[in-house]
């Protein structure tokens, strides 16, 4: 067998990365979430982007009750699951807002908040959702984040604290990988901008520290003399020849 020509491996790697970064129907975030729902995944970097998709309150079948306490438990649980399926991982503040809007209430008093907490805890105990602090999501939504444009949300909802670390990590990884090499603050600023946030404030920088450190620990990005570059795990894909989604591992 003749030896590979110099640069051949690099060229193959570049082609492989190009195909992953330009996803077909089996490489979208939705497709990978469906795969990981069945097979389990630790992390998948996804490469398609989408506007933030909001739950339609008319789909939740919650109106018509004089008190929030009058909503049947089954209906409330189903509404939480529908919201999670559409917007997860979703922060408790946004989840509460969606439930209030669908049920026709303007404010969440202590009794309403307690009921929503109970619903989250119940669904978490049943294994139907995963709870991570104030975030609720299906397990695969944490392992396979989708990059969303948050700019169409009202200011009260479009807050960095309402974005889960996994989505912030994804934006950082995508930003660094697609550019090549970036200084740390530039990577943070550009990652925020692509998600619909205006600029890198001191608070935003603090908020991004933990996701960035986690991305470095996972080798999704690497530190090269103070600058950030794509890490060896940025293009990793779960492998199983028998499964419909396969890739180079």
pLDDT value, residue 22: 65
Q: Which residues pair with 51 in a beta bridge?
A: 149
What is the arithmetic mean of pLDDT over 26-52? 94
Task: Flag whether pLDDT at 244 surpasses 80.
Answer: no
Q: Give the separation between CA 165 and CA 142, rounded to whole angstroms.
A: 9
DSSP structural state of residue 23:
-
* pLDDT tens string 77-132: 999 999 999 999 999 999 999 999 999 999 999 999 999 999 999 999 999 999 99
What is the arithmetic mean of pLDDT over 63-71? 91
pLDDT value, residue 7: 57
Give the CB-side neighbour count of residue 32, counting CA atoms within 13 A.
26
* pLDDT tens string 182-220: 999 999 999 999 999 988 999 999 999 999 999 999 999
- Measured in whole angstroms, the distance separating CA 215 from the mean position of its chain's CA atoms is 14
What is the arithmetic mean of pLDDT over 32-41? 94
Kind plus residue range of the DSSP H or E element containing 127:
none
Q: Give the separation between CA 29 and CA 6, rounded to whole angstroms.
A: 35
Cβ atoms of 140 and 36 within 8 Å: the answer is: yes
* pLDDT tens string 77-90: 999 999 999 999 99
Return mean pLDDT, the chain.
89
Domain boundaries, the chain: 8-52+147-230, 57-140
- Measured in whole angstroms, the distance separating CA 212 from the mean position of its chain's CA atoms is 15
CATH class of 57-140: mainly alpha
Give the residue with greater pLDDT, 7 vs 229: 229
């Amino acid at each position: 067998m003749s030896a590979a020509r110099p640069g051949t491996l690099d060229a193959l790697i570049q082609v492989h990365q190009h195909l992953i970064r330009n996803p077909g129907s089996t490489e979208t975030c939705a497709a990978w979430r469906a795969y990981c729902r069945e097979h389990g995944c630790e992390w998948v970097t996804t490469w398609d982007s989408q506007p933030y998709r909001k739950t339609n309150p008319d789909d939740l079948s919650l109106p018509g009750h004089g008190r929030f306490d009058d909503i049947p438990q089954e209906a409330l649980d189903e509404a939480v699951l529908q919201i999670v399926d559409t917007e997860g991982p979703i922060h408790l503040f946004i989840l509460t807002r969606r439930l209030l809007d669908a049920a026709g209430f303007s404010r969440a008093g202590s009794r309403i908040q307690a009921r929503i907490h109970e619903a989250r805890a119940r669904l978490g105990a049943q294994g139907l959702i995963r709870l991570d602090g104030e975030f609720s999501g299906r397990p695969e939504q944490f392992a396979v984040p989708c990059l969303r444009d948050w700019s169409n949300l009202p200011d009260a909802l479009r807050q960095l604290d309402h974005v889960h670390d996994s989505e912030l990590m994804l934006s950082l990884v995508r930003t660094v990988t697609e550019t090549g090499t970036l200084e740390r603050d530039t990577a943070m600023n550009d990652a925020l901008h692509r998600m619909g946030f205006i600029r890198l404030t001191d608070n935003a920088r603090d908020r991004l520290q933990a996701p960035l450190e986690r991305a470095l620990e996972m080798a999704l990005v690497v530190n090269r003399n103070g600058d950030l570059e794509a890490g060896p795990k940025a293009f990793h894909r779960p492998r199983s020849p028998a499964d419909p989604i396969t890739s180079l591992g």
